[in-house]
Amino acid sequence: MRSRIRASLESLYGRSLQAGLSETPSHIAVIQDGNRRFAKVRGKDPSKGHQAGAETTEQVLEWCDELGISEVTLYTFSTENFKRPPDEQEELFDLIERKLKEFADADRIHESEVRIRAIGETDRLPKRVQDAVEYADEQTKEYDNLVLNIALAYGGRTELLSAAKFIAKRVQEGKLKPEDITTTTIASALETKPRHDVDLIIRSGGDERTSNFLPWQANGNEAAVYFTAPYWPAFRKIDFLRGLRTYEQREHQRHISKLNRTRAILSAVAPKNTPNKPQENQPSTENTKVDTPRTGEMQSQTS
Active site residues: 33, 81
Q: What is the DSSP letter of 190?
A: S
The residues pairing with 147 across neighbouring beta strands, listed in sequence order, are 71, 115
SS3 (DSSP) at 203: strand
Count Cβ atoms within 10 A of the Cβ of residue 230 and give its class: 0-12 exposed, 13-18 middle, 19 or more buried.
Answer: middle
Phi, psi of 121 (to 5 degrees): -85, 70
Instruction: Please name the residue ranges forming H helices in 68-199.
Output: 86-105, 107-111, 127-140, 156-172, 183-189
User: CA 13, 19, 21: angle at the middle one, nearest 5?
Assistant: 110
Phi, psi of 146 (to 5 degrees): -135, 125
Distance CA 123, CA 51 (A): 24
Secondary element (H or E) of residue 119: strand 114-119
137-to-33, 62, 70, 142, 263 alpha-carbon distances in Å: 25, 19, 17, 9, 48
Sheet with strand 224-227: strands edge to edge: 114-119, 146-154, 71-78, 27-31, 200-203, 224-227
Distance CA 35, CA 40 (A): 9
Distance CA 290, CA 29 (A): 64
